[in-house]
Amino acid sequence: MGDTKRSGAGPSGHDLLRLATAGSVDDGKSTLVGRLLYDTKSVLADQLEAVERASKSTDGEPDLSLLVDGLRSEREQGITIDVAYRYFATPRRSFVLADTPGHVQYTRNTVTGASTAALAVLLVDARHGVVEQTRRHTAVMALLRVPRLVLAVNKIDLVDYDEATYLTITKEFRDHAVALGYAEDAVVTIPVSAKKGDNVVVGSDRTPWHDGPTLLDHLETVPVDGPDEAAPFRFPVQTVIRPRSAELPDYRGYAGLVAAGSVSVGDEVVVLPDGQRTTVEGIDRYTSSLDAASAGDSVVLRLAHDLGIARGAVIVAAGSAPEPVTEFTATLAWLHDKPLTPGRRLLVKHGTHTVQAMITAVEDRLDIQTLALDADPGTLEINDIGHVAITVAEPLPLDDYDTVAATGSFLVIDPQAGDTLAAGLVGRPLVATPVDA
Ordered per-residue pLDDT tens for the chain, 437 residues: 544 455 555 544 458 898 999 888 778 888 898 888 888 888 777 777 777 776 665 566 677 777 766 555 555 555 555 667 888 889 899 998 888 765 665 666 777 777 778 899 999 999 999 998 899 889 888 888 888 999 999 999 999 999 999 999 999 999 999 988 898 999 999 999 999 999 999 999 999 999 999 999 999 999 876 555 678 999 999 999 998 888 888 899 999 999 999 999 999 999 999 999 999 999 999 888 999 999 889 999 999 998 889 999 999 999 999 999 999 999 998 888 889 999 989 999 998 899 999 999 999 988 877 778 888 888 999 888 889 999 999 999 999 988 888 899 899 999 999 988 998 989 876 655 554 44
Look at residue 12 in the predicted model and tell me its pLDDT: 46
Q: 225 — phi, psi (to 5°)?
A: -80, 135
SS3 for 216? Answer: helix
Compute the C-alpha angle 388/411/349, nearest 5°: 110
d(CA 257, CA 235): 6
Report yes or no on whether pTM surpasses 0.85.
no
- Whole-angstrom CA distances from 154 to 185, 204, 220, 434 are 21, 13, 20, 27
Q: 426 — phi, psi (to 5°)?
A: -70, 135
pLDDT digits (tens, 9 = 90+) for 317-346: 999 999 999 999 999 988 888 899 999 899
CB 293 within 8 A of CB 243: no
Cis bond before residue 273 (omega within 30° of 0): yes
Q: Which domains does the chain have, with CATH numbers?
A: 16-221 (3.40.50.300), 234-317 (2.40.30.10), 324-426 (2.40.30.10)
DSSP secondary structure letter of residue 417: T
